[in-house]
Structure 1
């Protein structure tokens, strides 16, 4: 795995000179490359698959959590609770599809997961009264997935929920409170909740194609600055706004109350980026992020290098 990543990293860097709108227009004839907030086109590279080579899911099917089989108790899911509805989106599916376009309690949502950044975010798909549907562009910036909307073919940076290329450049998606937790945690709390059913694609769901990634020494397809304070590039951090709390600190303290948020940690969730089978991954724990009144807050659980790339002036909440 590590040898292959190093080889691909070198190949991408050697061809990065091709990163320009002129090179991409044949694949993206509807994208307005005259509008962008990306300071240098060389920041955008191919992740390997072409446009829609990683197929996003639209109109997913669901089954009752209590009747779902085949998911290990420690496997991570993205949980979204809205308007009395509770839904779980297993990472075993998101690893292969990265985006799910859904409607929950009447709200059009996009549930997203970028394996290379461990970033799991859910967004409201409405922008200025228009409902967008998202796909996977096959492009990366700072190793983070670039999504695109099918309506204007604008490019959106998943980690920040903002359009960075195209007609909608500068538009921002509303981030919804969602979180990663173990399948066992979801089913215990919501036995009658809904879980996304297995998509009808020929994929080895449950297998981790990024085996050993979150214990490797260097992020894949990333050439930016590494995090400060001696923090490992692939250490997990909890980002709330422009602040980041190291997962290591949260695991040690159990609960942190500061900067107007309450972050709690508990054991029991497997890493999706460790062993060959997701359910066998080492325990990295689950977190919940709430305000002082106990309301869930939008946040992300991402790798430290990605946080530093998108929030270079952010505050590192290291404690004592």
Structure 2
């Protein structure tokens, strides 16, 4: 019994030492981040390769009128934001392969448009916390294979897929999500010929290529150590997340329209996968989705990989 107690105490001490070493290492890299405040185990955070701002966010976006843009392939995916009283805006995913975050302002509302290729998670947030506007950068770290963002005001860390502060001054706070959706460039342009589209952040840069060739048909996610989805669900299958519920994109492809739990999901036709072929515009079709409530209003949602839904919503409901 004494030997067993000694073993338990030794394991506990090693765990404490490892956690302390991890905190010391991160503190050296991020001296302005308050690591005494965290809502997650710091051991779950790992480097994605590039360091802080190694993936440069876009802070001064410029736009073109959609009818004037000629560089984007018809089937390429764009993240669309349509706010009443404002011109529609499209953010081509080709740019997020290089930048991952765009800090923008629409109608006086500061927003962060984000896309994590490893989770296929595209989410738009209101950048204000308690009325204070923040600007976001890419930390270079991952948790559950998902981008960890940071705000430049306090250097708190934020989980991109869910918009939650996980480390630092804003740990425990949540960013408000703004309805957005993925669709093909041609569908956006036909609906909004006078709408806006994000201009290339860098001139003469080779945008439009995918560094993650065949990623979304791989056997398992990259840099992911968590549990895989239950019941044999393909971890790389796309699911439509609404709150803590997920619907299979393949089911919607078959049925075209699903009305459940107060929302309506509709199949919107062709769209290229950004994570398939080398040239994004040549990616296989994965389809597009709109999600609305009973009054026909757009609903916050995300089309993410199944493993990511399970990682961040382990008690979520699968449809």
Q: TM-score, normalised by structure 2?
A: 0.92
Answering whether residue 141 of structure 2 is matched by residue 139 of structure 1, we say: yes
Matches within 5 A, 1:165-176: 165-176=167-178
Q: Does the 8 A contact of 1:236 with 1:303 survive in 2?
A: yes
Correspondence for 1:21 among 15, 19, 23 = 23
Pair 1:313–1:191, CA change in 2 (3 A) = same
* Alignment match, 2:66: 65
Q: What's the counterpart of residue 89 of structure 2?
A: 87
Q: For 1:239 and 1:104, locate their aligned partners in 2 and report how far apart those are by CA, in whole Å.
A: 25
Partner of 2:116: 114
Look up the SS of the partner of 2:97 in the other structure.
Answer: helix
- Whole-angstrom CA distance in 2 between matches of 1:18 and 1:59: 39
Provide, for residues 123-157 of structure 1, a one-character-per-residue CA deviation record: whole Å limited to 9, x for no partner.
00000010000000000000000000000000000
Answer yes or no: is 1:78 the counterpart of 2:43: no
Give a deviation string over 1:148-194, Cα, whole Å, max 9, x none: 00000000001110100001111110000001100011001100000
* Structure 1 unaligned residues grouped into runs of 5+: 1-15
1:271 aligns with 2:273: yes
CA RMSD after TM alignment: 1.3
Report deviation, 1:268: 1.1
Match of 2:297 in 1: 295
Aligned CA distance change for structure 1 residues 19 and 266 (closer, same or farther; 3 Å): farther
Cα pair 1:73 1:279 within 8 Å, conserved: yes
Measure the CA separation in 2 of the matches of 1:266 and 1:200.
31
Is contact 2:179-2:299 (8 Å) kept? yes
1:170 and 1:77 map into 2 onto residues whose CA distance is 30
TM superposition shift of 1:27: 2.1
Q: For the residues of structure 1 that align with 2:118 and 2:20, how far apart are their CA atoms?
A: 22
What residue number does 2:33 align with?
Answer: 31
Residue of structure 2 in register with 1:98 after alignment: 100
Partner of 1:12: none
Residue aligned with 1:217, SS:
coil
Tell me, yes or no, if structure 1 residue 51 matches structure 2 residue 36.
no
In 1, the alpha carbon distance for the partners of 2:229 and 2:20 equals 28
- Residues 179 and 288 in structure 1, CA contact (< 8 A), matched pair in contact too: yes
- Unpaired runs of at least 5, structure 2: 1-17
- Whole-Å Cα distance in 2 between the matches of residues 290 and 315 of structure 1? 19
Shift in CA distance, 202/163, structure 1 to aligned 2, threshold 3 Å: farther
Asked whether the 8 Å contact 1:250–1:256 carries over to 2, the reply is yes
Q: Which range is displaced more, 98-107 or 198-207?
A: 198-207
CA offsets per residue over residues 44-95 of structure 1, 9 Å max, x none?
0000000000000012000000000110100000000113320000000011
Residue in structure 2 matching 1:260, options 259, 262, 282: 262
Deviation at 1:230, TM superposition (A): 1.8
CA displacement at 1:107 relative to structure 2? 0.6
> What whole-Å deviation, never above 9, does each CA across 1:214-263 have from its counterpart, x for those lacking one?
00001000011111122100000000000000101010100100000000
Q: Write out per-residue CA displacement over residues 91-138 of structure 1, whole angstroms, 9 at most, x where no aligned residue.
A: 000111000000011110000000000000000000001000000000
CA, structure 1 residues 31+202, in 2 after alignment: closer, same or farther (shift >3 Å)? farther
Q: Number of residues paired by the alignment?
A: 301
For 2:282, which of 263, 280, 286 is the aligned residue? 280
How far the C-alpha of 1:41 sits from its partner, in A, is: 1.8
Distance 1:143 1:136 in 2: 14
- Mapped to 2, the partners of 1:46 and 1:203 lie a distance apart of 26
Which one has a bigger Cα radius of gyration?
2
